[in-house]
């Protein structure tokens, strides 16, 4: 499952408002859709703390990356717009709801100057 992480704790909004299951289910189709429409794929925004990567990288150093909220807002807005215009077969209400929840989270993150990235729950 994919979920969004922000770089601030004790915020006054729900950072876990979506579980990302619908995004994970549609991952392959969504990745291809992003490629076909000139958008960054979800994995392009995935980052984790070094401790989270240890079991996958064999201890290799990994730098955790953080992104400005505005970048995510622009990306998700374009993605949602393209999905709604093209109505691909994999799109459903659950996927749109999850993506819109991420967008809402990014708007809230922007208000407090928080940065973000996506993470994966294996």
Laid out side by side, the sheet with 115-120 consists of 2-6, 115-120, 67-68
Q: Where are the domains of the chain?
A: 2-120
Quote the CA–CA distance of 85 and 62 in Å, as a whole number. Answer: 38
Encoding tokens for residue 58?
Answer: 């064999």
For the entire predicted model, the pTM comes to 0.85
**How far is residue 19 from each of residues 14, 49, 66, 68, 86, measured CA to CA in Å?**
12, 20, 20, 22, 25
pLDDT in tens, 34-83: 999 999 999 999 988 755 555 555 555 668 899 999 999 999 999 999 99
For residue 108, the SS3 value is helix
pLDDT tens by residue, 22-38: 999 999 999 999 999 99
Q: How many CB atoms lie within 10 A of CB 85?
A: 8
Kindly report the backbone phi and psi dihedral angles of residue 120, in degrees, each rounded to the nearest multiple of 5, phi listed first: -125, 135
């Amino acid at each position: 499952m994919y979920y969004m992480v922000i770089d601030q704790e004790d915020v006054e909004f729900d950072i876990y408002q979506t579980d990302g299951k619908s995004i994970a289910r549609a991952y392959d189709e969504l990745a291809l859709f992003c490629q076909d429409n000139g958008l960054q794929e979800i994995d392009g925004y995935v980052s984790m703390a070094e401790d989270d990567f240890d079991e996958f990288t064999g201890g290799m150093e990994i730098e955790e990356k953080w992104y400005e909220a505005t970048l995510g807002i622009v990306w998700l807005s374009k993605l949602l717009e393209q999905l709604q215009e093209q109505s691909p077969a994999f799109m459903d209400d659950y996927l749109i709801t999850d993506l819109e929840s991420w967008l809402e989270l990014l708007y809230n993150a922007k208000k407090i100057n928080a940065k973000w990235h996506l993470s994966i729950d294996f």
